[in-house]
Structures are given as C-alpha cells and as structure tokens.
C-alpha cells in the first residue's frame, strides 16, 4: 500500500471502531490508529507493532475491565479495530494467521 492508502486505512479503521463503540476519545482514536498501523505492518511482515498491541491488551486485562470502564472501552476499541482490519486485509492475504 502507498502512504495515501495507509492513511485511508487508518482513517477507516478509526471510523469502524467508532461505529462499534461510539465516539472515540482522543486516546482511543490514537489506540485505534496504533492497532490498525500495527496490523498493516504485520501485513508487510513486521511483527513488532502487533506484539506491542498484545502487551497493551494484557495490561488492560490486568486492570479488571469488568470494574474499570476505561479499560473495558479500550479493549472494545481494539477489538472493533481488529475486526475491521481482518475484514479489509484478511490474514490469509499475507500467508499466516494474524491477531
């Protein structure tokens, strides 16, 4: 993808996350962009970004999302973003299972 394609992908991923979760806070918009960018990088063969997302998910789960609405919302944003990413760039398109 070209940089304009990447920008469009990130914008669309944020919009998809907002549709699934409601309006995004600036922090959750950045989170959705990070997740989408990490997924895009995985498509290019770079696993580092998605490894960071996995660490973030673990940290959020450690905050007891059932009792922490911010952690719950953050996990929901990550989930919605990954659903969008998988729909647009299926893992089969890059030869290995992702996220």
Instruction: Please tell me whether the overall predicted TM-score, pTM, comes out greater than 0.85 for this model.
Output: yes
pLDDT in tens, 29-44: 999 999 999 999 998 8
pLDDT in tens, 11-33: 999 999 999 999 999 999 999 99
pLDDT in tens, 64-94: 999 999 999 999 999 999 999 999 988 876 6
- What is the residue extent of each domain of the chain? 3-92
The answer, yes or no, to whether residue 45 has pLDDT greater than 50, is yes
d(CA 33, CA 73): 15
């Amino acid at each position: 993808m070209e940089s304009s394609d990447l920008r469009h992908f990130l914008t669309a991923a944020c919009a998809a996350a907002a549709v699934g979760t409601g309006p995004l806070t600036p922090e959750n918009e950045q989170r959705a962009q990070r997740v989408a960018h990490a997924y895009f990088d995985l498509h290019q063969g770079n696993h580092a970004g998605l490894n960071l997302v996995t660490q973030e998910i673990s940290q959020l789960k450690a905050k007891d999302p059932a009792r922490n609405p911010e952690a719950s919302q953050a996990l929901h944003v990550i989930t919605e973003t990954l659903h969008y990413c998988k729909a647009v760039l299926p893992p089969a398109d890059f030869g290995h299972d992702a996220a």
